[in-house]
Amino acid sequence: MDSTLISQRPGKEACSLNRARRAAWGSFAGAVVDWYDFLLYGITAALVFNREFFPQISPAMGTLAAFATFGVGFLFRPLGGIIFGHFGDRLGRKRMLMLTVWMRGIATACIGLLPSSNQIGWWAPVLLVLLRA
């Protein structure tokens, strides 16, 4: 019984395929977290924010104002992409990804801890918009 061990490194195709799969799964996970945040914020804007942050106006206008704060997130996405993309190229994409995930998590927690409009007045919607941006 003659068996020979062939010691070969995997080819470039196998390594690049593994890297592509890891990159695809990482992108998928990041997109899921990002859109999950928008989903939760949208549901909360529709059900809670109009009463908590805009009680001085009619319920319909309060809901529209709450969804306007929802739109702020979409408006600032390209700006964040430009800024953090630039620093990602200079300092490392992984570092910038972790920074943005932490920033979004902290901002989301702060939105959950915001006092209502009855407690701090017009500062509540202003802080809501600033934290959403």
pLDDT at 1 over 80: no
pLDDT, greater one: 105 or 113: 113
DSSP 38-97: HHHHHHHIIIIIHHHH-TTS-HHHHHHHHHHHHHHHHHHHHHHHHHHHHHHHHH-HHHHH
Q: Is 10 helix (H, G, I), strand (E, B) or coil?
A: coil
Break the chain into its structural domains and give their ranges: 12-132
At 94, the pLDDT band (50, 70, 90 cuts) reads confident
pLDDT at 120 over 60: yes
pLDDT at 133 over 60: yes
Angle at 44 between CA 35 and CA 36, to 5 degrees: 15
Q: What confidence score (pLDDT) does residue 5 get? A: 58
Residue-wise pLDDT for 10-59, tens only, equals 556 667 888 888 888 888 887 888 788 888 888 988 888 888 888 888 88
Q: What is the mean pLDDT of the chain?
A: 84
At 9, the pLDDT band (50, 70, 90 cuts) reads low
List helix spans (H) across 45-58.
Answer: 50-53
